[in-house]
Amino acid sequence: MTKSVQILKNTFEMHCSGVLFWQERSTLIISDVHLGKISHFRKFGAAVPQKAVEQNFLVMTEVIELFKPTVIIFLGDLFHSSVNKEWQFFEEWISKLTAKVILVSGNHDIISPLKYEDLGVQVTKELLLDGFLLTHHPEEREGLFNFSGHVHPAIRLHGVGRQSVRLRCFFKTQRQMILPAFGEFTGNYTMEPIADCEAYALLGDTVLQVPFKETKRRKRF
């Protein structure tokens, strides 16, 4: 269900849902939930089941009950669009939390910070904690290790013949880790390997480190 990795003498647990738990700070890190996206699709006639709206909240509740964090950090794109019916679900859900909640704002976070602050959610552009830089977009900053989202990383695994499958993944380099998108119906971007990178694929209830070697072509963000 989880796989641990050591970064700057801190322990981080990668969970099969796509969340990351920082043990030393009792902090749960979640990226790209995109609440409201399903309701947005349904509003314009997409055949998405109403039950899917509840799934993100159910899974978030499960991982919170598992890790019991004192702090929850959303790495941007918490809400996909302007306020819609899912905002009411969010208000009800967050009112039951005892953990401190911080939103590192992303490009889709267009809802006024005042509405979040009314719910007790701190909104910021970035966080700097113990040598770690937490942002929505991937960043490279001297002397810091960056946790980010935005990209929705995935890896393509190939089987016998032409069989292949694409899986969400945690994508790690020497100075950065990009978290997978947490939300349903978010889409993914297939990563290309670069020097000294590691990929941890999400497969059912497993986090699986997979071989991922650099090629001549390099992708940068």
Domain assignment present for 12: yes
146: domain CATH number is 3.60.21
Report the distance separating Cα 112 and Cα 135, nearest Å: 19
| Number of other residues whose CB lies within 10 A of the CB of residue 49 | 10
DSSP string, 33-73: --BTHHHHHHHTT----THHHHHHHHHHHHHHHHH--SEEE
Gyration radius (Cα) of the chain, Å: 17
Domain assignment present for 205: yes
Report the distance separating Cα 136 and Cα 149, nearest Å: 5
Domain assignment present for 178: yes
Domain assignment present for 23: yes
pLDDT of residue 161: 66
Domain assignment present for 219: no
Contact 99, 78 (CB under 8 A): no
Range of the domain at 51: 2-210
1, 17, 90, 172 from 62: Cα distances, Å? 12, 10, 15, 25
Q: Is residue 116 packed enough to be buried (19+ CB in 10 Å), middle (13-18) or exposed (0-12)?
A: buried
Domain assignment present for 149: yes
Domain assignment present for 96: yes
pLDDT of residue 9: 97
Q: Is residue 33 packed enough to be buried (19+ CB in 10 Å), middle (13-18) or exposed (0-12)?
A: buried
pTM: 0.89
Chunked into runs of 10 residues, the chain (221 residues) has average pLDDT values of 96 98 98 75 50 82 97 93 81 95 92 94 97 97 97 86 84 97 83 92 94 61 52
Report the distance separating Cα 63 and Cα 189, nearest Å: 24
Domain assignment present for 168: yes
Report the distance separating Cα 196 and Cα 116, nearest Å: 38
pLDDT of residue 221: 52
Q: Is residue 45 packed enough to be buried (19+ CB in 10 Å), middle (13-18) or exposed (0-12)?
A: exposed
**Structural domain count of the chain:** 1
